[in-house]
Amino acid sequence: MEEKILEIKNLRKYFSIKNGFLRGAAANVKAVDGVSFDLYKGETIGLVGESGCGKSTLGRTIVRLYEPTEGEVIFKGQDISHIKKSQLKPLRKQMQLIFQDPYSSLNPRMNVNTIVGEALLSHGLVKKGQEYVDRVSEIIEICGLSSYHMNRYPHQFSGGQRQRIGIARALALSPEFVVCDEPVSALDVSIQSQILNLMMDLQEKMGLSYLFISHDLSVVKHISNRIGVMYLGSVVEMAKKKELYNNPSHPYTRALLTAIPIANPMKRKVMAAISGEIPSNVNTPPGCKFHTRCPYAKEICSKVAPENKEINPGHYVVCHFAGEI
Ligand code: SF4
């Protein structure tokens, strides 16, 4: 039986707006609105969706950079949803984040030696001196840099090299679970595949589990075992990679797939496109949140919220007409 490293149960993260653009009325931005899934050891779940759909907030809520509003985050059998900061510290070693922007996520005043090694010292994993130097050079070499880079500063590296530093920093504490928040979207396409390959190699060597967040379905295809598609704070479809690409069943997933450029136009699948803007996640549409943009919407869609149906083993779709359209 596969070991679950993470169980997310009906997780919500709302941000309250007071005295804001709603003329004094208190309201909530429903950034994450009832997400549930399990992640297994050594697995990668790719999470995709348009900008503002809540995928980064979900990742940050899972690792407790944000306090969940409701729901449960169970990490290796322990409910960490509401534990105190002092209880979180030992867990921080096991859960890490790789950020999107390798330019702003590294402190320009710190050299690689400090960026990668400071967490080792603060968690008391190594002593200053040779042990520290050996451990930092070991990590940066695993991540494809050389030990002579240790005394250099972020501005002396290319974008791809800076992201290698970001990965080395995340892996320095030997975590088991890593949230990768758009880790390649700021990089040139030619560098993206190098970083993705590095992350897959490290996953195999270190037995890591990834939640890989991206707005780009062609990027998550490369690295994921399963893929979840998010819309307005909710996961509307989740399936194994092959099943999702061969049998996309939610109209929103189909629209995202249509947007992927394909070199050979003869292989392009014709799918109904969507139009219009993503609605506000303050006043989310009633019923199915996607009904304002869905080309298949019927009367029921604006009145009744659809359930999460399993249309094939492990393939879940939140749509009244899943498997029929
Ligand atoms: Fe479209 Fe209705 Fe399905 Fe929502 S429930 S995705 S509006 S068909």
User: Ligand 1, residues 229, 319, 325: which to mutate, most atoms within 8 A of Cβ?
Assistant: 319
How many A from CA of 56 to the centre of ligand 1? 24
d(CA 104, CA 166): 11
Looking at the CA of residue 236, tell me the nearest atom of ligand 1. Answer: 6
What tens digit of pLDDT does each residue of 62-107 get? 999 999 999 999 999 999 998 988 888 889 899 999 988 777 889 9
* pTM listed for this prediction: 0.91
What tens digit of pLDDT does each residue of 19-60 get? 555 555 678 899 999 999 999 999 999 999 988 899 999 999
Q: Nearest CA to 167 among 213, 117, 116, 238?
A: 116
What tens digit of pLDDT does each residue of 262-317 get? 666 655 555 556 777 888 888 899 999 999 999 999 999 999 999 999 999 999 99
How many A from CA of 272 to the centre of ligand 1? 13
pLDDT value, residue 89: 86
Question: What is the CATH architecture assignment of 4-94+175-318?
Answer: 3-Layer(aba) Sandwich (3.40)
Domain boundaries, the chain: 4-94+175-318
Looking at the CA of residue 298, tell me the nearest atom of ligand 1. Answer: 2
Q: Look at residue 173 and tell me whether its pLDDT is greater than 80.
A: yes
77 CB neighbour count, 10 Å cutoff: 9
C-alpha dist (Å) from residue 3 to 219, 225, 287:
26, 15, 35
C-alpha dist (Å) from residue 80 to 12, 61, 175, 211, 246:
14, 11, 16, 17, 36
Looking at the CA of residue 322, tell me the nearest atom of ligand 1. Answer: 3
Looking at the CA of residue 295, tell me the nearest atom of ligand 1. Answer: 1
C-beta of 170 in contact with ligand 1 (< 6 A): no
